[in-house]
Amino acid sequence: MSDWAPKRFWTNATTVARDGGFAVDLDGRAVKTPYKQPLIMPTQAMADRVAAEWQAQGEKIDPTTMPATRAANSAIDKVTPQYADVVAMLASYGESDLLCYRAANPDVLVAAQSQAWDPWLDWSATTLQAHLHVTTGLMPIPQPAESLDRLHAHVGQFDPFALTGFHDLVQLSGSLVLAAAVASDALTPQDAWPLSRIDEDFQISQWGDDEEAAEAAAIKQQAFYDAALFLNLSRST
């Protein structure tokens, strides 16, 4: 495998106000997205974060150390042009939310899921006005149409940048409800992530950890935290 990577060509990354938003310049040259669009962000806090990622690069550019930059690129190049489709896809998680599918046994796992997840389904029913049914096993169950409509409307309130962060919160956790709670500041990402890992953590407690699986889980956990941060940066003032 080649170890080639783009080399650093700038000295200073700076945040500038531009075109009604905020951008990042590298020695006076505007950063653009992979699709060659102007990288104009909605808040200075987001642009400052992106500028810091560029400034922190060494001799070679490592995109894996630039989560805010990658997310901002995605918001412009991918989410904005297909916004309605992304909203619909994320809202559809309400039909099969992680919190709604429970184990039938053993009792200790059943109790752990109920203790961890029931309060957030109650929160969804109260705060989002979206009551969701619970079942055991993996067979899908229909959810109330009015609840799904409300979840769709809730997701549709996010602008493309916030929606980009929300997208990763949903996909990484498997739960639209947990993601909505994080986005609403009802739940911290640090508290939400273990709630999404009840089943995995139970298996680890029974059979022990696997080094490769633990490494993959740690990467996902950090990506979840990065997504929550990006969502907050999208609405910082």
pLDDT in tens, 7-26: 899 999 999 999 999 999 99
List pLDDT tens digits, range 138-168.
Answer: 889 999 999 999 999 999 999 999 999 999 9
Angle among Cα 38, 231, 44 to the nearest 5 degrees reads 50
> Which residues 6+ apart lie within 8 Å of 212 measured at CB?
none
The full set of domains in the chain, from first to last, is 1-65 (3.30.2180.10), 82-234 (1.10.3580.10)
| Residue carrying structure tokens 């809202």 | 91
List pLDDT tens digits, range 110-139.
Answer: 999 999 999 999 999 999 999 999 999 888
> DSSP state, 229?
H
Q: Per-residue pLDDT averaged across 207-216, rounded?
A: 87
To the question of pTM greater than 0.85 for the whole model, the response is yes
Residue type, 225: Y
| Rounded Cα distance, 55 and 53, in Å | 5
Rounded to the nearest angstrom, the gap between the alpha carbon of residue 86 and the centroid of all alpha carbons in its chain is: 13
| Rounded Cα distance, 206 and 211, in Å | 15
The CA-to-CA distance between both ends of the chain, in Å, stands at 44
Asked whether residue 227 carries a pLDDT value surpassing 70, the answer given is yes
SS3 88: helix
